């Protein structure tokens, strides 16, 4: 069987046309009330040649919001907006999963209903500033969730999973990475709880397990992915022993028959890695998606060595809607415009040229 980036691959009961994944990337271009809009349809349609699209993170409830102009998947207007996107991707022959998101402490009262205080496993304020509609504002100390409140958030994930099915998605990815609520529970730098959701890694994984149990009542497990980031320091995250702790997490996830495990390998804030990702990958008996700084050569090496089954590309796909064709033909890549990554209009979003338009 061919192991190159351009060979077909089976994920659950889906056959992908290649092993290239569009990584989830927040772009802050949703319409008011967190509703997907017309330019979002074009953005995803342009990138439908990916074997799999994983959408930008989409909040499961109004309380889960952490940034302005990010889409949700909790009301009928959002379903209608997303359905136009899934239809466009399917019309192009693509497959698309939605990433489900609850930001937790990475938020600000100005973004939340009734200016409420963001919640977290523990009342530990992250460093830095929140990105709000009124510019950058200092993070506030979050409120530690009461034990009996957690079930309500689990039910919000289940509702969002139901909404995602109604919107025509092929599956869902549970975002348990990069310093958002589930990751805040998983890592002991942000989870100082003393109840059944804190202390041991078994307890810290309880929230993720409850979310997965809930969404598995809506979707078959082979249409559910999970994203992890064992050592990413983004959003003031840390863990005392990421190798051992995520060894446990991944072993537990392996028994669920998930569509895939999607891992941000390394630390977005540094180049040196402290975790052995091949060792973690070997704990997962299923499809593994590698993410973080891959180019074509590194991706093909990872596939050939069995380090990964699929490769997720972020910024290269942002700037190259026809990335699959460019990689296949070894064409030059467009230069990304970092000034247009977050917010704005079509500029730096849907106006990057395709190969046939570069001459």
C-alpha–C-alpha distance, residues 331 and 328, integer Å: 8
In this model, does residue 203 exceed pLDDT 70?
yes
The percent of residues in the chain predicted with pLDDT above 70, rounded, is 98
Mean pLDDT, rounded, for 65-90? 98
Residue 202's Cα: distance from chain center in Å? Answer: 23
Which helix (DSSP H) or strand (DSSP E) does residue 52 occupy? strand 52-59
Q: Percentages helix, strand, coil for the chain, rounded to the nearest 5? A: 35, 20, 45
Beta partners for 135? 132
pLDDT band at 272 (very low <50, low <70, confident <90, very high): confident
Annotated domain spans of the chain: 9-357
- Are 215 and 172 in contact, with CB atoms under 8 Å apart? yes
Mean pLDDT, rounded, for 95-117? 98
pLDDT of residue 218: 98
Return the SS3 of 154.
helix
CATH of 9-357, one of 3.20.20.70, 1.10.150.120, 3.30.70.120, 3.90.1150.10: 3.20.20.70
Average per-residue pLDDT in the chain?
97
In 3D space, the residue among 290, 82, 261, 268 whose CA is nearest the CA of residue 176 turns out to be 261
Which phi and psi (to 5°) does residue 220 adopt? -65, 150
From 44, 102, 157, 180, active-site residue: 180
Quick: pLDDT tens for 289-326. 999 999 999 999 999 999 999 999 999 999 999 999 99
C-alpha–C-alpha distance, residues 32 and 308, integer Å: 38
C-alpha–C-alpha distance, residues 163 and 336, integer Å: 33
Quick: pLDDT tens for 17-35. 999 999 999 999 999 999 9
- Are 42 and 350 in contact, with CB atoms under 8 Å apart? yes
**Furthest C-alpha separation in the chain:** 62
The percent of residues in the chain predicted with pLDDT above 90, rounded, is 96
Q: Is 180 a catalytic residue?
A: yes
pLDDT band at 2 (very low <50, low <70, confident <90, very high): low
Which pTM value belongs to this model?
A: 0.97
pLDDT of residue 284: 98
In this model, does residue 250 exceed pLDDT 60?
yes
C-alpha–C-alpha distance, residues 53 and 85, integer Å: 11
In this model, does residue 274 exceed pLDDT 60?
yes
In this model, does residue 286 exceed pLDDT 50?
yes
């Amino acid at each position: 069987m061919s192991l190159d980036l351009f060979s077909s691959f089976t994920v659950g009961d889906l056959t992908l046309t290649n092993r290239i994944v569009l990584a989830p990337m927040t772009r802050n271009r949703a319409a008011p009330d967190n509703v997907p809009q017309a330019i979002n349809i074009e953005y995803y349609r342009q990138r439908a040649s990916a074997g799999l699209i994983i959408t930008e993170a989409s909040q499961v409830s109004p309380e889960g919001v952490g940034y302005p102009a990010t889409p949700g998947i909790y009301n009928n207007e959002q379903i209608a907006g997303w359905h136009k996107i899934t239809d466009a991707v399917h019309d192009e022959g693509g497959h698309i999963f939605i990433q489900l998101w609850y930001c937790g402490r990475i938020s600000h009262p100005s973004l939340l209903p009734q200016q409420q205080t963001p919640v977290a496993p523990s009342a530990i304020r992250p460093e830095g500033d929140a990105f709000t509609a009124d510019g950058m504002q200092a993070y506030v100390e979050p409120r530690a969730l009461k034990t009996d409140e957690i079930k309500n958030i689990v039910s919000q994930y289940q509702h969002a999973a139901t909404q995602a099915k109604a919107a025509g998605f092929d599956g869902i990815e549970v975002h348990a990475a990069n310093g958002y609520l589930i990751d805040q529970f998983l890592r002991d730098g942000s989870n100082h709880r003393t109840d059944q959701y804190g202390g041991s890694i078994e307890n810290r994984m309880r929230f993720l397990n409850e979310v997965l149990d809930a969404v598995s009542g809506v979707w078959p497990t082979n249409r559910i992915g999970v994203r992890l980031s064992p050592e990413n320091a983004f959003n003031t995250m840390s863990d005392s022993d990421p190798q051992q702790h995520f060894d446990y997490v991944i072993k537990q996830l392996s028994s669920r028959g998930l569509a895939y495990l999607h891992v941000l390998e390394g630390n977005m804030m540094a180049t040196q890695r402290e975790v052995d990702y091949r060792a973690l990958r070997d704990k997962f008996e299923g499809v593994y998606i590698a993410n973080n700084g891959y180019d074509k050569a590194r991706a093909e090496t990872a596939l050939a060595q069995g380090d990964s089954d699929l490769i997720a590309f972020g910024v290269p796909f942002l700037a190259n809607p026809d990335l699959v064709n460019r990689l296949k033909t070894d064409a030059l890549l467009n230069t990304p415009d970092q000034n247009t990554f977050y917010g704005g209009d079509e500029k730096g979003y849907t106006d990057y040229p395709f190969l046939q338009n570069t001459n």
